[in-house]
Structure formats: C-alpha cells, structure tokens
Amino acid sequence: MNPANVSPPVTLAKHGDVAVITIDNPPVNVLSHAVRSGLLECLSQAVADADIRAVVIICAGRTFIAGADITEFGKPPQSPSLLEVVATLDDCPKPIFAALHGTALGGGLETALACRYRIGLKTARIGLPEVHLGLIPGAGGTQRLPRVAGLNNALEMITSGRHVGAEEALAMGAIDEVVNGDDLLAAAIDFSRRTLAQGNLRSRTSELELEDSADNQDIVSTWKKRVSKKARGQESPLVALEAISQSIKLPFAEGLLKERELFLGCMGSAQSRALRHIFFAERAAAKLPDSIPNTPTDIKSAAVIGGGTMGRGIAMCFANKNIPVTVVEMQQEQLDLALRAIDKTYAKMSSSGRISEQQHRQRMALISGSCDHSSLARVDVVIEAVFEKLEVKHAIFSSLDKHCKPEAILATNTSYLDIEAIASAVGDPSRVLGMHFFSPAHIMKLLEVVRTGQTSTVAISSMMKLGKILGKRSVLVGNGFGFAANRMYSAYGREGQQMLLEGVTPTQLDQAMKNWGMAMGPAAVLDMSGIDIGYNARKQNPNPPADPSYFRPADLLAEQGYFGRKTGRGFYRYDPTTGKAQEDPEIIELIRAEAQRLNVTPVELPESEIQKRMVGAIATEGEAILTEGIATRASDLDVIWVNGYGFPRWRGGPMHYASEQGD
C-alpha cells in the first residue's frame, strides 16, 4: 500500500467525454507491477463510465513508457503481466489513443501498439530494442508492428533494435499524427474527438491481417540472409526474425503464442544473461564507490597537452560536448598541423552526413591553440597526452603546476606509467589522476579514470562526472603498471604470443578469436597499432617477467624493424598498393626458429583450445587485479573489455563468461 501522502503511479481524469489516464512513475515510467495494475484499474473505470467515449493514455515527466521493468526479469511473474495489459487494451470497447513523447521503447511501444491510435510529439522516438538484451519483444511487438508499420519496417526495426523518430514512424504507419506544439494532451484529446466525429473507427491491431504472399516471403528471406551476416554469433536477432515471420503465417492469437515461446527461450539463454549482465554492469561502473563522496566541480573549460592522434581526439571529445578546449603544442608548426587535422576530421564527418556543416563550424570555434602554458591559467582541467616518457611528463606537470590555478585538475592520458611518479612533480598531488582514453578518443567509448592513493575525492568525482558528460563508459581503477585495461590486454596478448611459439600461425590465432566473436584477431591488432608501441611499453615495466618467452615473437619482429602495417611487414606482409594482409611464411619460420632456440615444444592446438586459453588468460589476470585492489568489481572489468577491446557484448565480458563456465 502507498502511504496516504504518495500519489499512485497511474491516475484517471475526465475531460468531458474523454478519459485521460496518466502514468507517473519516474524516472522513465517503466512498466512496474504497480503501473500495470493501475493502468488496468483506471481503464476499467473508464470503460464502466457511460459518459466516456474515448481514452487517452499519456505519461508525466520526460518520457512515455521507456520499457518493461527489467529488474523483474528472472523473478516469479506478478499478475497482471504485460501480456494481460496489452490484451485488455486491444480488446477495449472504447477507442484508446496513446500520446507519445520522449521515447516509447520495448514494452512501452508494445503498450502503444495495442491502442487503436497513436499520436506523438515531433521529438518522440519509438523502438523495440530487446535484441540488445538478448531478447525479443514478448508482449505482441513482433505481431503488431508488422501489421501497422509493414513487414519490411518491422523486420528492420526489431532485428536491429533501432529507434525511429516520429516523422519516420508517421511515414511507416506506426504513428497516426505528429504534434508540432508542446501541448500533447490537448492535441491528443482533440485528435480523439476528431476521430470519433469521423466515425468508422479502424479495426483493432489484432484484427489486421498480413498476407502469406510470395512478396512477403521474399522479404523475410532477404532479411534472413542480411541478419545472419550482421548478427555475427548473436542469437536474438535471428529469433526475432523467426517470430516476425509468424505474422504472415499464423493468425494473430497463434502468432502471439509462438512469440511467447520464442521470448521465453531467449530469456533463459546464456546470451541474454550476458547482455543483461553488461547492461547493469555499465550502470554500476558509472557510480562512485560508497567510500567516495560525490562532490564534483563543474568543468567549463579544458586543455589538452599534445596535438598528436590521441590529443586531437581528446580535444574533439570536449568540443563535441560544447566545452571550450585549448590544444597546446611546443611549436607553432606542430600546433597548426594538429588544428588542421582536427578540421579535416570534422570535414569528413560533415561530408558523410554524421554532423552538419553548422556543427563543424561550431565545434572548431570551441577549439583554440597555444604554445604557452601561461595561457592555461583559467582552465578547469588539463589532460596531458604526449610521449610515454616519464621525464617528459615530469617536465610538463612541473610547468602546469606553476601556470594553472590551484583548483585545476591535472590529468595524464598515460597508458601504463606510474601516476604517483608523475604527480611527484606537482606541489599538490591530490589534484593529479589518470584519464586514460582509448584511440580514436572521439569514437571509443571506454575511459579509465585512474586514481592514486593521493588523488582527492573531488578530482575523482569530477572526472567520473566529466566522463559521463563526454559520453564515455567511465571505469574507476587504481594505479599500477598498465592499470586494469592494458594489464589484462597484456595477459591476452602474452597468451597469444606463447601459442605462436607453440606453432599456431598468426592466421590461425586471429581466425580463432574472430570466430569466437572478437572484431579483430590479436596479431592483426598488433600490426595495426604498431608492434613497436608494445615493445617500447614493455621496456618501461619496472618489474618485467623473467620468462624469456614473454612476448618474444612480437619483440623479435620489433628488433627486426617489422612494426606492422606502417612498415609493410609485421605478423603479416601487406601489399603496398592495396594494403591487403597476406600470410608471411618467412615470419612464421622466424618465430619457429626462435621457439626452437627457447626449447618451446610445438603442439597441435584446436580452435576451441586457442579460444579457451585466450579468454582464460584475461579472466585470470582480472582475478589478480581484483585481489590487488586495482579494480573493485569484476563487472567493471567486463565493461572495460566490452567497450575497449571489442569483446563480444553477447558474451558479457571475460569475467562474466568465466563465471558462466565455472572457471
């Protein structure tokens, strides 16, 4: 029971002959048990009232129903279920009009589709994104959307999980009218009365039929090929396609039963568990530990030291979010090159339609340049992104300490160096921490916020908040060589390098991991990023492993001057004209000769064993990182791998995967 002073989440009000049912369940009006119960109770009252001719369902707050309450997933169902709710809406003797604003997603859109009509603000968006959680719509979405929006549109929306704007939804028939003003309620009531005045109410969605025609069969067949290619191991898009295809084969009621059967199969799948795990893991990672008070300062201006690839990308992150940023270089010529490169990147984005010309101009206007640290006297945060040399960073931070205001936060983008050692150049090391972006910084989602034992809670909470503003998946980790991300990646790479010594070819290694779901194989990644980068990083390790086999194939290639794509040769040979990678027998023989010198016994490794060892190496290192306190949650490490290294989202991350396997 609700306390007397708490309003119920669903209320009914009469506007003449129109009943208005308002859902107010902040923050996003999810379809909790209380909302479902309240909706049916209010609808029952409206149906029983002889004066009511139509019903409008609208939501308070910033959005229409944004989906089902996923905290109820896996728990015993509570009646009324969403299926019962949408069936009651569909069967209602009085026409129901759904008034949409914000986002109508998942169960929210299924609720709207069960209404007779839908109108929405111009800014409204709709979607059935269940595939992103390893599920399919389970309350009629796969049967109703094809009937109102067409089979082709439904297949595209549901198998991809894409959100659709109101104007596009109107064009496909999913929305009946778009409202340009702000008063959605008045527009919905007016639309309902106009519709009643015209008479001849349209049929219920469940009464519409789709023909099992040759054309519709061809549409399904085409989409099956398309989805099979795009899904790359993910099951739910193909299951969704199967459910949608029933809309042309079966009567509505039977199609619903088939949808429910397929939905429940997805709900119990390992992939859905993994996708739901990473969904919650990303939200948990964004929250500060209880021991750190959330006392952030506002970041209204920034500076980036270094105009190389990483520095330029970081500067764009700020400009993309309307935060003025200064790029600092040592020489004017280098600065000009950096600013031209940023402008060129924005120009490409504009020409491809990703941003408008106006956005291009606005973002460039937010980026200034300087060759003088004294110009940074007023900035709120400075991020250093120069060479991975401790002495270079020392000099920079010593200068920043003199020129920046005392409350400015000083961050380093170092990938592996000791941040406490860097902070020793600053009078107040509490304002120093790591902001480890991943390249290209303006595209990659992952951001490691690295605290030292001296970093202030203000600096930590400010940078975690900033990461969110910049649109990053921020993960808070501790100081230590390689932090969490690169340390785990090093373990992954080490295992692959060991198997190369054992006789696995680069092609076999890469193909095994691509088949497992990784976007690229580890040897190809090293060639792309530059074999010399890792080689130089390992030289900086204060406690290198004593094992002579450690990364020996990569180090051998680096010592030969074979750095990968940039030299035309690495683990693969690259065609100088096309850039296409080709297996290099000489490199394979070079590695095998080194293996013999190191007395490494060659073995035959099936693909499954390669995959098991590679993923197991990540999880084992993750456990060590947790034990040492570098990370506090195993799920944070999953967030790092899914967002930073192309680990298949539908496997949930290496720690989740290992726990599922019982490792």
Active site residues: 110, 130
Q: Are 462 and 409 in contact (CB under 8 A)?
A: yes
Query: 638 to each of 184, 625, 657, 663, how far by Cα in Å?
Result: 42, 13, 9, 15
Return d(Cα 22, Cα 44) in angstroms, integer.
Answer: 14
Other Cβ atoms less than 10 A from the Cβ of 61: the count is 15
Beta-sheet pairing, 164-165 with 125-127: antiparallel
**Are 85 and 42 in contact, with CB atoms under 8 Å apart?**
no
Centre a 10 Å sphere on the Cβ of residue 200 and count the other Cβ atoms it contains. Answer: 5
Sign of CA dihedral 264, 265, 269, 271: negative
> What is residue 21's three-state secondary structure?
strand
Query: Distance between CA atoms of 86 and 458, rounded to whole angstroms?
Result: 48
Give the C-alpha separation, 411 to 423, whole Å: 9
Distance CA 549, CA 537 (A): 17
CA distance 654 to 647: 8
User: CA dihedral defined by 504, 505, 508, 510, rounded to 10 degrees?
Assistant: 110
Which residue, 391, 613, 623, is CA-closest to 487?
623
- CA dist., res. 387 & res. 577, Å (int): 31
Rounded Cα gap, residues 82 and 69, in angstroms: 10
Dig out the tokens for 141 from the structure: 């979405």
DSSP letter at 297 equals: P
The DSSP bridge partners found for residue 164 are: 126
Closest CA to 74 of 269, 244, 340: 269
Q: Are 280 and 642 in contact (CB under 8 A)?
A: no
Amino acid at 569: R
**CA–CA dist 446, 651 (Å, integer):** 18
Instruction: Quote the DSSP letter at residue 572.
Output: E
Tokens 């390669």 -> residue: 610
Question: First and final CA of the chain: distance in angstroms?
Answer: 44
Beta carbons of 32 and 9 less than 8 angstroms apart: yes
How far is the C-alpha of 651 from the C-alpha of 648, rounded, in Å? 6
Cis amide bond preceding 606, omega within 30:
no
Length of the chain as a residue count: 663
Backbone torsions φ then ψ of 245, nearest 5 degrees: -60, -25
Asked if residues 166 and 125 have their Cβ atoms less than 8 Å apart, the reply is yes
What six digits make up the tokens of 654? 């290496």
Alpha-carbon span 442 to 142, nearest angstrom: 36
